[in-house]
Amino acid sequence: MNNDPSASDEAADFQVHENFERFSQKFDIYSRAFWDSEIRTEKTDRFFETYRTPLKKWKTVEGFSQRDYALRNASWHLPDIFAELKESENRREGFLDPFTVHRPGPEDRVPVDSPEQMSREVKHVAKAFGADLVGITGYDERWVYTHAYSRLGETEKPQELPEDLPNVIVIAQEMKKDLLDTVPSALSGAATGIGYSADTLVLLGLTQYIINLGYRAVATMNDTALAVPYAIKAGLGEYGRLGLLITEEFGPRVRIGKIFTDLPLSHDVPKSFGVKKFCETCSRCADACPVGAIPKGPPTDEVYNKSNLVGITKWTVNAEPCFKFWSNQNSDCSICVRVCPYNQDFTGFWPRAWRWLAGTRLRRLALWLVNRFVPGDRVSPAAWWRRGTEA
C-alpha cells in the first residue's frame, strides 16, 4: 500500500496543482447561507425554515402543494432527528459534525489476519444493512475540511476527525428515480430525504459493527470531508460535468457517506467506465440548468467565488446561482441529475447496452440515441401520486 494518497491521482484522473488549498466547511454554500450577507436573504431563511415548519400558505402549483411538502419534510425525519439531537452541544450531526455512535466497544480487538478478507467482510455487512454501493480507500488529508462549521455562533470550529484513521469506507445509497424525475417540485426532495435516511441507517449500523469488533470508526455524512473525491478513489464512479459522482449502477442518483477507521482494510482502485469522455461530448446538464450554473466548456481551475476549491482542474458548478435558484423555488433542485443521460434504470438490458456504448468511441452515437429516446423529461408530480394510487 502506497502511503502517499496523491500517488493514485492519475488513476482517478485528479488534476491537483501546487496551489491547492484545503477547504473549510464555513465556505460551503449551506454555511454561507447563514453567515455571509452576500448569500443570506429572506428567501434562504424561508428555504431552510420550511423543511421544518408548514408553509404559511400552501401553493396550489402542482408538485408544491401541501401533500408534496408533507412527504418531502417527512422524508427528512430520521436525518433531522440526528442533526438536532445534540444541538445543545453545538453539534449538527450528519451535516456539520460526525455522528455519535451509541455504544462503546469491547476491550479486545478481533484479530485481522487478512485486510483483503476483512474488506470483503465489511462490504458484506454493509450490504446486510442495506448499503447499495460500498468501496474502500485510504485517508487523504486533502479532502478533509480544515475546520468544521458551527451553526451556533456561525464560526469555524476545530476539525475533530483524528488523523490516524488510515482507511475510509465509502457508501452510496440510491435516490429513488420516480421521485427525483418530478423535479422541479417539492416532491422530488423526498428522494433526497429518503436517501439520507438510508445513509444514516447504514452508516450508524456499520460503524457500530466496526466498534464492536474493537476498532475505532467515525461515521460522517455531509460533514468532515468532501465525499466525491473519496468515492472516486474508492472505485464507486467517476466525476461528471454536473459536479457530482456518476456511478455505474445509479448514475448521479446517489447520496454518499463515509466512515474513517483503523480497522485493517485493503483498498479498491478507481474505476472508469467512460464518463469523463462522454461528459466532454454531452452538455445536457449545463443546457438544462435554469440559471446556467454548470460549465459548458472543458474542466478548468477557474475560481468563481469562495465556495470553490482552489488549485484543482475540474468541472465546477457555480454554487451561488445554483443555491439562489433553490431558495427562489423553495425546495432543493436536481434538474441536472434528472436530465443526465446516466440517470437511467440500469437493471434493464437497453440501459446497460447504452451505458456500454457511451463508454466506447461511439459515444456521439450514444448521445444521439439518448437524446432521441431518453430525453430526461420531467415526470409530473401528479403522475407520481396517481401512479401508486390508481385503483
Which positions touch its own copies (CB under 8 A)? 52-55, 58, 66-67, 69-71, 73-75, 77-78, 80-81, 84, 101-103, 105-108, 110, 116-117, 120-121, 123-125, 127-130, 176, 179, 190, 194, 197-198, 201, 204-206, 208-209, 211-214, 385, 387-391
- DSSP H or E run through 148: strand 147-150
**Minimum distance between the CB of residue 217 and its own copies, rounded to whole angstroms?**
11
Query: Which distant-in-sequence residues (6+ apart) come within 8 Å of 111 by Cβ?
Result: none
C-alpha cell at 96: 456539520
**Minimum distance between the CB of residue 80 and its own copies, rounded to whole angstroms?**
6
* 197 CB burial (10 A radius; 0-12, 13-18, 19+): buried
C-alpha cell at 84: 438536532
**Minimum distance between the CB of residue 265 and its own copies, rounded to whole angstroms?**
13
**Minimum distance between the CB of residue 14 and its own copies, rounded to whole angstroms?**
28
- Does the CA dihedral 370-373-376-377 come out positive or negative? positive
Which CB, 110 or 152, lies closer to its own copies? 110
Q: What is the rounded distance in angstroms from the CA atom of residue 36 to the CA atom of residue 34? A: 6
Which CB, 22 or 127, lies closer to its own copies? 127
- Does the CA dihedral 348-350-355-356 come out positive or negative? positive
Establish how many alpha carbons lie within 13 A of residue 369's alpha carbon, considering only the half-sphere containing its beta carbon. 14
Which CB, 17 or 52, lies closer to its own copies? 52
Which CB, 71 or 336, lies closer to its own copies? 71
**Minimum distance between the CB of residue 195 and its own copies, rounded to whole angstroms?**
11
Which CB, 191 or 337, lies closer to its own copies? 191
Which CB, 290 or 348, lies closer to its own copies? 348
Geometric angle at alpha carbon 168, from 167 and 171, rounded to 5°: 150
Which CB, 185 or 318, lies closer to its own copies? 185
**Minimum distance between the CB of residue 9 and its own copies, rounded to whole angstroms?**
27
**Minimum distance between the CB of residue 85 and its own copies, rounded to whole angstroms?**
8
User: What distance lies between CA 148 and its chain's CA centroid?
Assistant: 18
* Nearest in space to 150 (alpha carbons), one of 89, 221, 77: 89
**Minimum distance between the CB of residue 84 and its own copies, rounded to whole angstroms?**
8
DSSP letter, residue 239: E
User: What distance lies between CA 353 and its chain's CA centroid?
Assistant: 26
Q: What is the rounded distance in angstroms from the CA atom of residue 67 to the CA atom of residue 189? A: 12
Note whether 259 and 217 are within 8 A (CB): yes
**Minimum distance between the CB of residue 109 and its own copies, rounded to whole angstroms?**
9
Which CB, 74 or 365, lies closer to its own copies? 74
Matching residue, cell 434493464? 348
Note whether 185 and 331 are within 8 A (CB): yes
Number of DSSP helices (H) and strands (E) in the chain, helices first:
16, 10
Q: What is the rounded distance in angstroms from the CA atom of residue 344 to the CA atom of residue 284? A: 14
**Minimum distance between the CB of residue 118 and its own copies, rounded to whole angstroms?**
9
Which CB, 103 or 361, lies closer to its own copies? 103
Which CB, 117 or 360, lies closer to its own copies? 117
Note whether 162 and 238 are within 8 A (CB): no
Establish how many alpha carbons lie within 13 A of residue 186's alpha carbon, considering only the half-sphere containing its beta carbon. 29
